[in-house]
Amino acid sequence: MLLLDHKDFEGALDMAEAVLLVEDAHRAWGQEPNLNHPRRMLDVVHPGENRRVRLNSFLGAWPRGGYMGAQLQMHAPVMQEQQQGLAHIATDVYALYSSDNGALLAIFYGGSVRPAQGGFRGTIDLARHPIFGEIATAAIGAVGTKALAREDASTLGFFGTGSFAPGHLLAVASVRQFDQIKVYSKTKEHRERFCKEMSEVLEKDIIPVNSPEDCVQGSDVVMCVTNSDKPVLSGDHLDAGAHVTSIVASSHAGPGGVLVGRTELDDRTLERASRIAVVSKDQAITDQHAATWGAAQRNVISMEDICELGPILAGSEPGRTSQSDITVFHQNSRQGVSCVPIAARYYEIALERGTGTVVDL
């Protein structure tokens, strides 16, 4: 059995390969629903400490690769700091098993996401060396975009310049050949720096724009990779045939520790969409995601009209049906099935490189 610190494999996997691996695993899940258990969250609020702690669990299998895996991820936010814009600290442990003989192959440990402020490496390094949670999350967003965006999509409007943005931009650029990429975030200096550095990574011009309208109008694909509590775009600005991918699905702690739903999508975007897909409907309902479940409670959409990504990939559910459709993919949580092929490939790379510590169990 290999014991692997995240530093042993950080940046070892090419993003384009990760997208293909995750696509394969989600297609398999679409064919066999038992390959994944939706993420489960255990939330505890410490009395008198104004502090919420969350333990996430992920279970998934990838039979074609011969692997199964389980992840525990601890989030330890301080709510008062969150309200000042600081994010949680996350640590996790991942156990990779052989589905052929049940052997425990590897245990990965370390951070899977980075704090939102402080201690970051540059944008270029974030793009070229994504860590476990980032590469799996970005890959799912790209797979959903690939499944629903027009084949001839050539213009990307991109919202966000935070720590998850570089990996998501790299991932989505691997599934469509964009001639133009526009980026918007609220802070002018951030979007200009992000565009300059990601232009070097992608070896093409990336343009900072001055408003959400400029980012959306004329874009064949709109990708939202922010940490926003409220919609970042207006659905009225979407062109016919546009596709929108959004990643915000979690809740944040409001006054008194009450969880408040968050969404990057406005009601008009959902109303105009001919097809709305999510990673997991069970996850949307269990976690009461504002973008879908919350909208359904207000009768903006119906949960019955929402499909999952896996069946679209497997061909049992339709995706885009015409060039003029507006489609939406809500990347509403990476799943255990998303993580298994990433962990498996890291394990194989570690074997190839001779990295990690061999432990006799």
What CATH number should be reported for the domain holding residue 55? 3.30.1780.10
Other Cβ atoms closer than 10 A to 101:
8
Per the structure, the count of domains in the chain is: 2
Q: Please indicate, yes or no, whether residues 172 and 307 belong to a single structural domain of this protein.
A: yes
| Pair 116, 140 in one domain | no
213 and 199 part of one domain: yes
263 within domain boundaries = yes
Pairing relationship of beta strands 2-5 and 357-358 according to DSSP bridges: antiparallel
Residue 143: which of 38, 72, 247 has the closest Cα? 247
Are residues 163 and 91 both part of a single domain? no
Same domain, yes or no, for 251 and 152?
yes
Same domain, 279 and 226: yes
297 and 343 in a common domain:
no
Residue 128 domain-assigned?
no
In which domain, by residue range, is 144 found? 133-330
Residue 353 and residue 321 share a domain: no
* 261 falls within a domain: yes
Residue 126 forms part of a structural domain? no
pLDDT tens digit at each of 361 positions of the chain: 999 988 777 778 889 999 999 999 999 999 999 999 988 988 887 776 666 778 889 999 999 999 999 999 887 754 444 444 444 556 789 999 999 999 999 999 876 554 443 334 466 666 666 677 788 899 999 999 999 999 999 999 999 998 889 999 999 999 999 999 999 999 999 999 999 999 999 999 999 999 999 999 999 999 999 988 899 999 999 999 999 999 987 665 454 444 557 899 999 999 999 999 999 999 999 888 999 999 999 999 999 999 999 999 999 999 999 999 999 999 998 899 999 999 999 999 999 999 999 998 7
Rg (CA), the chain: 19
Answer yes or no: is 127 within a domain.
no
Find where tokens 């996790």 sit.
92
What is the CATH classification number for the domain harbouring 145?
A: 3.40.50.720
- The reply to whether 232 and 270 lie within a common domain is yes
As a whole number of angstroms, the distance between CA 111 and CA 7 comes to: 9
Backbone angles phi, psi at 313, to 5 degrees: -65, -35
Same-domain check for residues 184 and 114: no
User: Which pLDDT score is estimated for 295?
Assistant: 93
The full length of the chain comes to 361
Task: Please choose, from the candidates 196, 242, 253, the residue with its C-alpha nearest in 3D space to the C-alpha of residue 215.
Answer: 242
Domain assignment present for residue 94? The answer is yes
CA angle 249, 338, 167 (to 5 degrees): 70
Q: Are 22 and 109 found together in one domain?
A: yes
The answer to whether 262 touches 292, Cβ cutoff 8 Å, is no
Give DSSP secondary structure letters for 185-216: -S-HHHHHHHHHHHHHHHTS-EEE-SSHHHHH
Asked if residue 179 is part of any domain, the answer here is yes
pLDDT for 282 equals 93
Tell me, yes or no, whether 221 and 73 share the same domain: no
pTM listed for this prediction: 0.89
- 112 assigned to some structural domain: yes
